[in-house]
């Protein structure tokens, strides 16, 4: 892990804080405060654990991809970018999506395959409960379909006018 200031590779861990993200899935995040041996800059790194079972993703184009936890988490982070959504909330969206994926995969015969549409639907569902801009942003990115984005926007507007009454 390079120092973000001077690029030095040798750092010393001064503190470790384990954060239990989800016991059931055995997902544990660990925060480490490190100090650079060269310039003494202190910074924090986050270590993210992942379930080890490997899934495959079925695409609309009939292609199959290897399921990537990093890709999923990155897409959630992108949807949440600049919206002041705390890291822990983004992480819990990821954990909730993972739970839905695992339940969905259990229904399949080989218990390792998930469709990309299903993943997108789960992300949309959980983003919606946390932040509506992130929800709209992700649904636009994922579905690439004006009708769906408009439908979601109409739903948002309807919710707003309900809450004003």
Does residue 89 interact with Zn ion by CB under 5 A?
no
Measured from the CB atom, the residue of 14 and 39 that comes closer to Zn ion is 39
Does residue 8 interact with Zn ion by CB under 5 A?
yes
Cβ at position 10, least distance to Zn ion in Å:
9
Give first-to-last CA distance, the chain, whole Å: 53
Cβ at position 1, least distance to Zn ion in Å:
11
Does residue 39 interact with Zn ion by CB under 5 A?
yes
CB count within 10 Å of CB 111 equals 11
Among 20-28, 32-40, 106-114, 156-164, the segment contacting Zn ion (CB under 5 A): 32-40
CA separation for the pair 69, 58 (Å, rounded): 15
Which H/E stretch holds residue 74? Answer: helix 69-80
The first and second tokens of residue 49, run together, are: 């654990």
Among 5-13, 16-24, 75-83, 88-96, the segment contacting Zn ion (CB under 5 A): 5-13
Does residue 9 interact with Zn ion by CB under 5 A?
no
Can you tell me which of 2, 5, 56, 160 binds Zn ion, judged by CB under 5 A? 5
Cβ at position 31, least distance to Zn ion in Å:
19
On whether the CB atoms of residues 67 and 56 are closer than 8 A, the answer is yes
User: Mind giving me the DSSP string for 84-143?
Assistant: T--HHHHHHHHHHHHHHHHHHHHHSSSSSEEEHHHHHHHHHHHHHTT-HHHHHHHHHHHH
Cβ at position 40, least distance to Zn ion in Å:
7
Does residue 3 interact with Zn ion by CB under 5 A?
yes
Strand order across the beta sheet in which 56-58 lies: 64-66, 56-58, 113-115
Residues engaged in binding Zn ion (CB under 5 A):
3, 5-6, 8, 36, 38-39, 41
């Amino acid at each position: 892990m390079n120092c973000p200031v001077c690029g030095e590779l040798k750092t010393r861990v001064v503190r470790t804080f384990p954060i239990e993200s989800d016991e059931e899935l055995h997902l544990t995040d660990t925060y480490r405060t490190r100090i650079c041996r060269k310039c003494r800059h202190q910074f924090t790194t986050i270590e993210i654990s992942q379930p080890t079972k490997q899934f495959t993703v079925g695409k609309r184009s009939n292609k199959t991809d290897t399921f990537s936890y990093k890709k999923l988490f990155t897409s959630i982070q992108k949807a949440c970018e600049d919206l002041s959504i705390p890291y822990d909330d983004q992480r819990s969206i990821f954990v909730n999506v993972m739970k839905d994926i695992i339940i969905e995969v259990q229904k399949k015969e080989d218990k390792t395959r998930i469709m990309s549409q299903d993943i997108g639907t789960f992300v949309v569902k959980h983003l919606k409960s946390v932040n509506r801009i992130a929800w709209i942003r992700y649904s636009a990115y994922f579905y690439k379909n004006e009708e769906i984005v408009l439908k979601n926007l109409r739903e948002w507007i309807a919710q707003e006018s309900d809450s004003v009454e």
